[in-house]
Amino acid sequence: MRLSRYFLPLLKETPSEAQIVSHQLMLRAGLIRQSSAGIYSWLPLGYKVLRKVEQIVREEMDAAGCHEVLMPSIQPAEIWQESGRYDDYGKEMLRITDRHDRAMLYGPTHEEVITDIFRRSIKSYKDLPQNLYQIQWKFRDEVRPRFGVMRGREFLMKDNYSFDLDREGAINSYNTMFLAYLKTFKRMGLTAIPMRAETGPIGGDLSHEFQILAETGESAAYYDAAFEDIDFMADDLDIDQLKSLYAATDDQHDPAACSVPADRLRSGRGIEVGHIFNFGTKYSKAMGALVTGPDGQDIAVEMGSYGIGVSRLVGALIEAFHDDNGIIWPEPVAPFDVGLINLRPGDEACDAMVQDLESKFRRAGRDVLIDDRDERPGAKFAAIDLIGLPWQVVIGPRGLKDGIVELKERATGERVELSPEALINRLTA
Ligand code: P5A
């Protein structure tokens, strides 16, 4: 991709409406634009990151044996009246009336829709367990949307729903999601701390929220240092041990009762990027999601739901990975892998080298953004730092005379001069 032909509206000034660094950087780096309060458009660079985050989430859900579906964003009021949540949900629910005066709503979550699908499709215990998920926009009319995509009114969520015959099966589904979540966040370079949580309007008696650590996080988090040493990608993680490790929010933390020795207790600031719930038969009983059990009796299925804030994660990643010059994307979610800075567009040798490197990177499956704009070098360096690509390559006439280009790693600031061959080897190994 050539920057001169791309749609990347960078801002020089920090927009005054943005209070936190991720919101400021998302606007400055041309990732999003606000449409109305808490509602955003995703511009090309931001949308690329959103899709990469979404894809990691999707791969981990598929690996955990879940099946992807897509449910409507607009839902009928009736199913919420059946579950009993229509009145309880209050003003956060955006209520709509269609031309036939039917009550509809923009879904804030999908427990009712999935329970309705289930009850009309699955009749026997032999078809259990099931775990379905989607990646779909939600709407919650938050009183005070703020911090950009971190607390929006319209936001992208990955939501799973599990169906089991009994409590034991349901806990097993819960544990599977618990481990899948730790892996999902780790793949993005994030350590997520699972914390016991309130169930709120979703309901149930067992719930964890997953908080990633960032200095600018919304709430205080206390946790066992063991979380920092665990290899979340390992296949033999001990779920019971993980669940027993100390982790507490501000209101839960009681220094007197905390069992972790002082030198093993860590504290930080957390951002909630996921939340999982087991709510038993709350919806299946209210809505009649029954299966015939082994002895011929009708049984209300045991359910759970599991959410990841996909659009919030883009903001959370920036909160976790940035410096004074801009964003520092971890490689798995970076919009492009490499930024090629052509210091002298129009110079034959520079143009040819850029072209050659681009096609070699492309063949190796590396996504490249070329700054071929007619701009001062300083402006190019600042732009490529701001948008946070993991690797920067500087191509200039002076270096090329000696057969070298310069490589800079965004995260460390480390620079090396090397031959184009060595560069390709290093970044495509
Ligand atoms: C779980 C899946 C649920 O809604 N029902 C389906 C359950 N859980 S939740 O905790 O309310 O939301 C799940 C995750 O969505 C993100 N999130 C938000 N992101 C941006 N803006 C918002 N206003 C917002 N509200 C929730 C969070 O990451 C949350 O963990």
DSSP one-letter string for 17-54 = T--SHHHHHHHHTTSEEEEETTEEEEPHHHHHHHHHHH
Question: Rounded distance, CA 40 to CA 19, Å?
Answer: 16
109 close to ligand 1 (CB < 6 Angstrom): yes
Ligand 1 center from residue 308 Cα (angstroms): 6
**pLDDT on residue 143:** 94
Please choose, from the candidates 407, 195, 165, the residue with its C-alpha nearest in 3D space to the C-alpha of residue 289.
165
**pLDDT on residue 254:** 87
Same-domain check for residues 287 and 347: no
Ligand 1 center from residue 275 Cα (angstroms): 7
Residue 331 lies in a domain: no
Same-domain check for residues 188 and 121: yes
142 close to ligand 1 (CB < 6 Angstrom): yes
Cite the beta strand spans of 310-362 per DSSP E.
322-323, 326-327, 338-342
Domain span at residue 358 reads 336-428
Ligand 1 center from residue 156 Cα (angstroms): 9
Report whether 213 contacts 320 (CB < 8 A). yes
Helix 348-363 / helix 420-428 crossing angle, nearest 10 deg = 20
Ligand 1 center from residue 30 Cα (angstroms): 25
Question: Rounded distance, CA 206 to CA 336, Å?
Answer: 40
Closest ligand 1 atom number to CA of residue 313: 28
Report whether 322 contacts 24 (CB < 8 A). no
Single residue among 271, 291, 326 that ends a domain in this structure: 326
**pLDDT on residue 305:** 98
Q: In the chain, which residues have pLDDT < 50?
A: none
Same-domain check for residues 340 and 322: no
322 close to ligand 1 (CB < 6 Angstrom): no
Helix 310-320 / helix 44-63 crossing angle, nearest 10 deg = 110
Residue nearest (by alpha carbon) to ligand 1 atom 12: 307
Residue 125 lies in a domain: yes
Residue nearest (by alpha carbon) to ligand 1 atom 27: 309
In degrees and rounded to multiples of 5, residue 391 shows phi and psi of -130, 135
Residue 277 lies in a domain: yes
Same-domain check for residues 137 and 225: yes
Residue 167 lies in a domain: yes
112 close to ligand 1 (CB < 6 Angstrom): no
423 close to ligand 1 (CB < 6 Angstrom): no
Single residue among 302, 326, 350 that ends a domain in this structure: 326
Indicate which CATH number applies to the domain containing 420.
3.40.50.800
Residue 174 lies in a domain: yes
218 close to ligand 1 (CB < 6 Angstrom): no
Ligand 1 center from residue 159 Cα (angstroms): 9
Ligand 1 center from residue 369 Cα (angstroms): 33
Residue 390 lies in a domain: yes
157 close to ligand 1 (CB < 6 Angstrom): yes
pLDDT tens figures, 262-303:
899 999 999 999 999 999 999 999 999 999 999 999 999 999
40 close to ligand 1 (CB < 6 Angstrom): no
**pLDDT on residue 199:** 82
Same-domain check for residues 124 and 238: yes
**pLDDT on residue 250:** 86
Question: Rounded distance, CA 41 to CA 204, Å?
Answer: 34
Same-domain check for residues 276 and 344: no
Longest Cα–Cα distance in the chain? 83
**pLDDT on residue 8:** 97
Same-domain check for residues 313 and 382: no
Same-domain check for residues 205 and 353: no
Closest ligand 1 atom number to CA of residue 145: 23
Q: What is the pTM of this model?
A: 0.97
In the three-class reduction of DSSP (H, G, I as helix; E, B as strand; rest coil), residue 230 is classed as coil
Same-domain check for residues 111 and 14: yes
Residue type, 168: E
Residue 249 lies in a domain: yes
**pLDDT on residue 203:** 82
Single residue among 261, 292, 326 that ends a domain in this structure: 326
Indicate which CATH number applies to the domain containing 253.
3.30.930.10
Same-domain check for residues 137 and 183: yes
**pLDDT on residue 411:** 98
Ligand 1 center from residue 51 Cα (angstroms): 18
**How many domains does the chain divide into?**
2
* Cα first-last separation, the chain: 22
Best substitution site from 157, 161, 273, 310 to test ligand 1's pocket, by max atoms within 8 Å of Cβ? 157
H/E element, 147? none
Same-domain check for residues 306 and 374: no
202 close to ligand 1 (CB < 6 Angstrom): yes
Ligand 1 center from residue 229 Cα (angstroms): 28
Same-domain check for residues 79 and 181: yes
Residue 184 lies in a domain: yes
